[in-house]
Amino acid sequence: MRRGFLHIFNLKLAAGIALFLGSSVPFIMGLKHGELSVLYPLVSLGNVWTLFWSKLFFNEPITRAKIAALAMILAGMVCIGVGGR
């Protein structure tokens, strides 16, 4: 039986961490030079894409609750976008 840190480490985990860290670099640069009223709605848009990608790749059902949550996220994005002007 394997024990320790190497037991939980695998290639998919390493790839996920690398992609997350790689996406953090442009986001931090955007925070330094951009406006929050533009950047945070884009962060929320990641949740919207996750819904569609999970349906495409994992065949997860899109339920009424997920559609309601999606509508609230989009409404929040609109409110932040309008308020940022």
Domain span at residue 16 reads 1-34
Task: Yes or no: say if 32 and 25 are a contact pair by the CB < 8 Å rule.
Answer: no
pLDDT score at 10: 80
Say how many CA atoms lie within 13 Å of 11 toward its Cβ.
0
The pLDDT assigned to 76 comes to: 85
Write down the pLDDT at residue 62.
93
Question: What's the pLDDT at 46?
Answer: 85
Q: 77 and 47, same structural domain? A: yes
pLDDT at 8 over 60: yes
Q: What is the pTM of this model?
A: 0.61
Residue (of 51, 54, 75, 53) closest to 65 by Cα position: 51
**Residue holding tokens 């997350």?**
20
Query: Do 43 and 22 fall within a single domain?
Result: no
Are 55 and 21 found together in one domain? no
> Is 43 in the same domain as 53?
yes
User: pLDDT tens-digit profile of 25-75?
Assistant: 888 888 888 877 778 778 888 888 889 999 999 999 999 999 999 999 889
pLDDT of residue 5: 67
- Pair (27, 41) in one structural domain: no
54 and 68 part of one domain: yes
